[in-house]
Structure formats: structure tokens, C-alpha cells
Amino acid sequence: MQVNPSHHSDPVSHTELVRRPAAQPQSATDGASFDRSAALDRSLEKTPDVRPEVVERARQLIEDTSYPPPVAINKIADLLAMKFAEEPQSDNQA
């Protein structure tokens, strides 16, 4: 193996280290962040754990024998078939 040196073989030039003071945290920005977090917590507390209208809609869909429609099932089947066709086949399938 042959190693070719770079054409930039000059020694590294001296660089000066510039020290800058650390940035001081801004308390106004920090306070605003906590205010938003508290507002989000209050909103979440007001949100019910269970939404009865959504549960009722799910029950209706479960009882409907035509849901999901055949067109949707066929599209999902096509997408799954394309996905499986893209994956490499292995002998150790679980």
C-alpha cells in the first residue's frame, strides 16, 4: 500500500484562542416557557380521558358489517403485498 502525502504539507499555522464569556440565561424567556407549560397542563387537565361520542362512533363502526369498505381493504392488501415484495427473503422466517 502506498501513502501519498497531501500537497498541503505545511505545518499548521498558529491560531489564537479567543475566550468569550458564557451567555447569561434570560429569565424572561425562561418564565414564558414555564407559563406555556402550565397552560398546556391546565388544558390537558380539562380534556376528558374518555370521549363518549368517539366511543359511540367506534361501536357503530364495529357493528357495521360493511366497514371498512372492500375498496379500502383491497388498497391495504395491495400496499402490504408491495411492502412484502420489497423486503429481502430470508430462510429464517419467524
Q: What is the pLDDT, as a whole number, of residue 24?
A: 66
Distance CA 4, CA 89 (A): 44
Torsion of CA 22, 23, 24, 26, to 10 degrees: -160
User: For residue 27, what pLDDT is reported?
Assistant: 55
- In whole angstroms, what is the distance from residue 36 CA to residue 33 CA? 5
Number of domains comprising the chain: 1
Does the residue 4 lie in any domain? Answer: no
Domain range for 73: 52-87
Q: Given this model, what pLDDT does residue 89 score?
A: 73
Residue ranges of the chain whose pLDDT lies below 50 = none
The confidence score (pLDDT) of residue 72 equals 95
- pLDDT of amino acid 16: 65
Residue 83 lies in a domain: yes
Is residue 80, in this structure, part of any structural domain at all?
Answer: yes
